[in-house]
Chain A
Amino acid sequence: MYSTEEKICILFGEKCATSYQFFQTLKMFEGVDDLIANLARNREAEKILESCYLPILRGLKNNEADRIIESMTRNEVVAVTYFSSSFPDRLRNIDDPPYVFFCKGNVRLLYTECLSIIGTRKTSSYGRRIAKDFTAVLSEYFTIVSGLAFGIDSIAHETTLQHGGNTIAVLGGGVLNIYPAENKGLADSIVAKNGLLISEYGLYSDPSAYRFPYRNRVVSGLSRGVLVCQAPYKSGTNSTVDLALDQGKDLFVVPGEIYDYGFVGNNRLIRTMQGSCVLSPKDILEYYGYDREEKPKETYQISIEEQVIVNALAFGPLSFDELVVTTGVSPAELNFLLANLELRSIIAKLAGNVYKLYGGLE
């Protein structure tokens, strides 16, 4: 059962009033009962609530909160409000905390140790690999928090699920209105596999552009640390990074090639020493005092022909054409060798038929 305070939170949330609007409005009244009774006469509140004012008034009059709660129950959604004892403390303490969020899935994850894994929507194969490899290990120790966007976010969620880990997706629209629509399937499997979707916006609200940077404070707020996988020069990732730094969270950054457009953001964070440079998931685990037992490396005896290719790639990535010319192997044979090496994760195929040695990470 929800208390009167909570019902007010739910109503305000359904009408998508921001945290600032909510708390400012609340301050003007003696308590929620006063608010319910006198909101209609308060000009100041009207100014603050702007376009939400009339819908909220109407909602109060029609007892809409009960209907919303009914709809939530039907859709297995619960609301966690600022006034409830179950509201996670780490969110209470951030600047501009949310006053309500709607949860679909395993609510208990809110009280687990969380780490957010974030990055651009436009990934490169290196960025994708970082997200995959780091998530695979880190999801054993943390609940992985991300934003269910394309690219790194999706990979983080999906990899976590693949490894049987826990994951929270913080949405910029309603929990019953998944954006982007292509990720509907992923959202469903997050719920099915004991993960959690949360959103501060009404159940069916549409995603608006300004809500995404705003919800990022929840992504970082929930987490102990934030891992940046791939951030180009301009990216939504940078907004999460700024918020995480404001909230005093740990920031981990994986370095990229300095000439690569896709990694300008990563390298800038390292250069300005805002984030600590990490080279493997182990670095993060060590930071938090986890001891990870090394798994024995899978060894694979490569053939002489494969060695020729590995040698050719030793000094940097080469295109298929260049490999044909430098190694003298026929295209058909080369295709076979490259496929084999790629499957053993010895090399990686980059965009534009370029091949590169995998190295560094175990």
Chain B
Amino acid sequence: MLALIKSYGLNGLDGFPVQAEIDMHTGLPSYDIVGLGDTAVKESKERVRSAMKNSGFFYPVAATVVNLAPANIRKEGSLYDLPIAIGMLIASQQISDVDIKKPVILGELSLNGEVRKVNGLLPMLITAVQNGEKTFVIPEGNADEVAFIEGATIYPVQTLRQTVDFLTGHIEISPVQIRNWESDVEFKHSDDHDFKHIKGQFAAKRAIEIAVAGGHNIIMIGPPGAGKTMLARAVPSIMPNLTFEEALEVAKIHSVTGQLEGFIYERPFRTPHHSSTMVAMTGGGNKARPGEISLAHNGVLFLDELPEYNRQTLETLRQPLEDGTITVSRNAVSVTYPADFMLIASMNPCPCGNYGSHTAECKCSASQIHRYLNKLSGPLLDRIDIHIEVASVSYDDLHEDRFAESSAVIRERVNKAREIQRTRLAAYGRRCNAQMTSSDIKKFCILDRASTLLLEDSFHKLNLTARAYTRVLKVARTIADLDGSETIGERHLAESLQYRQLDRKYRV
């Protein structure tokens, strides 16, 4: 007998419909699975057999053919175990055809018949709902991630037996409770990484506030132990809360890589180690999986010890920093993943870390320092608007409680500045100041006479390079927005000039 079960497959961040077709006929007992499945799909045979046996069914002695249609698209993963098992039970007439409206079934089976969580469920489900599917049977482990999908009835299941009982109408399962992002979600910010715990570092905190307010990338330069990592960790706590669309995008990416626990409520914070390969960073592999920069989408990518990263790896960041997306092409697939992240980088002033210190001697040679700094190419630095020096905090500061604002207070100001930018830039399809193009800058970063003179003057006095010019203006715009000021004043410009440390010539 023939059984047809609806399921779904994944290509990049989009699903595509898959039909599991199971046919049994008399002949020598055999099992064939066709339809371009990978090894995990092929191995489903053993899982299905044991799961059926251990759930109180028998494994049919017949010639079995499983086809995953469309037969010309690659299928990956273990998610077809459950649809195949259900199909085989129907085909072997151990259960009658299911009576509820044909559901889309997805799930991995364990040998004892339990249904296990699968990767990439969320993006598949979203496409399926868009394609008009109404009913789904999914592993209970994935229930949290689909809690915000509207327009579908989703039944979470725990075991094969339960699934069969449900499909044949013997038991009821309550569908996943659909939640509403606006009303049901309470944003909790973990207290571990809050700005109120960071003593001193006023300059760095201020710079980070500006960076987050305008969506600027930032690099912190300072000796080891100065607190660069701690500052970076606290950044997500002052970023605006995720909107539903943002959260959904992030959740989709994390779902594909199997890193999604529940749903995404906080902005991601990714810290790939400097030994990470280019593929780990940008995405790829033979299945064109998303990399760290996509996992940091709508959040923070923190690159500690920036010059230690492979130069080629750093250069690949340039395009995503500009476009907010990355296209990963492999021989069979080409996928575009979103990668719109805020880059936070840190580095030492020299390989030994003591260059510029008054108390410790730097042991590096001039050419060593040059080589270290030159690892950061101009085009990459071009995309980092704010450079800030972070000095070690003195013992006294550690006991100082004043001015240690909490993240909530800072976030309030950031939100306000972001709102101003959104109103101003929405018509141009941009969200924050960092995304302004040169024509936007001409329009929105108008300087009065005093400021123009100041800018001219400072370029000579501070030895700034031409590269600094637009950066300074963008950051000044953000500072003015934080200040609630319509125009860029002298004070805004003066402050933004402080954030071009690496552009000053003759650091060595």
Contacts and interface: CB of A to CB of B under 8 A. Distances in A.
Nearest to B482: A332
A321 B394 contact: yes
Interface string B403-429: 100000000000000000000000000
A352 B202 contact: no
A339 interface: yes
B508 A180 contact: no
A128 interface: yes
B2 interface: no
Interface in B288-321: none
Given A331-B206, A342-B462, A122 B369 contact: yes
Nearest to A120: B366
B273 interface: no
Interface in B185-217: 200-203, 205-206
Interface string B363-374: 011110110001
Contact of A321 (B223, B349, B393, B457): B393
A322 B391 CA distance: 11
Nearest to A152: B506
Interface in A99-153: 120-124, 128, 149-151
A259 B483 CA distance: 42
Interface in B389-404: 389-394, 397, 400, 402-403
B427 to A, nearest CB: 29
A150 B391 contact: no
B203 A343 contact: no
Nearest to B210: A332
Given A123-B508, A128-B506, A339-B498, A151 B203 contact: no
Nearest to A351: B356
B460 to A, nearest CB: 9
Interface string A235-277: 0000000000000000000000001110000000000000000
A148 B389 CA distance: 29
B494 A259 contact: no
B214 to A, nearest CB: 14
A324 interface: yes
A120 B203 CA distance: 30
B498 A343 contact: no
Contact of B391 (A122, A332, A343, A353): A353
A361 B49 CA distance: 89
A336 B356 contact: no
Among A259, A322, A334, A339, the most chain B Cβ lie within 10 Å of the Cβ of A339
Contact of B400 (A325, A334, A338): A325
A36 interface: no
A351 B355 contact: yes
Nearest to B390: A353
B46 interface: no
B361 interface: yes
Chain A: number of interface residues, binned into ranges: 35 or more
Contacts of A332: 206, 479, 482-483, 495
B498 A335 contact: yes
Interface string A293-337: 000000000000000000000000001111011000001101110
Contacts of A37: none
Nearest to B497: A339
A260 B360 CA distance: 9
B491 A336 contact: yes
A1 to B, nearest CB: 41
B454 A151 contact: no
B389 to A, nearest CB: 5
Given A121-B508, A122-B508, A335 B391 contact: no
B28 to A, nearest CB: 75
Given A123-B508, A352-B391, A339 B362 contact: no
A192 interface: no
Interface string B497-508: 110000000101
A151 B394 contact: no
A122 B362 contact: yes
A260 B389 CA distance: 21
B358 A259 contact: yes
Interface in B369-395: 369-370, 374, 389-394
B461 interface: yes
A343 B389 contact: no
A325 B201 CA distance: 11
B458 interface: yes
B397 A340 contact: no
B494 A150 contact: no
21 contacts: A122-B365, A122-B508, A124-B356, A149-B366, A151-B506, A154-B506, A320-B202, A320-B203, A321-B203, A321-B397, A324-B202, A335-B203, A336-B492, A336-B494, A339-B495, A343-B461, A343-B462, A343-B497, A352-B356, A352-B392, A353-B389
Interface of B: 200-203, 205-206, 222-223, 349, 355-358, 361-362, 364-367, 369-370, 374, 389-394, 397, 400, 402-403, 454, 457-458, 461-462, 479, 482-483, 491-492, 494-495, 497-498, 506, 508
Interface of A: 120-124, 128, 149-151, 154-155, 180, 182, 259-261, 319-322, 324-325, 331-332, 334-336, 338-340, 342-343, 345, 350-354
Closest 6 CB pairs of A and B: A351-B356, A121-B366, A339-B494, A352-B391, A331-B206, A320-B203
Given A122-B369, A338-B498, A339-B497, 13 more contacts: A122-B362, A155-B506, A182-B374, A319-B391, A320-B391, A331-B205, A331-B403, A335-B494, A350-B356, A351-B356, A352-B392, A353-B389, A353-B390
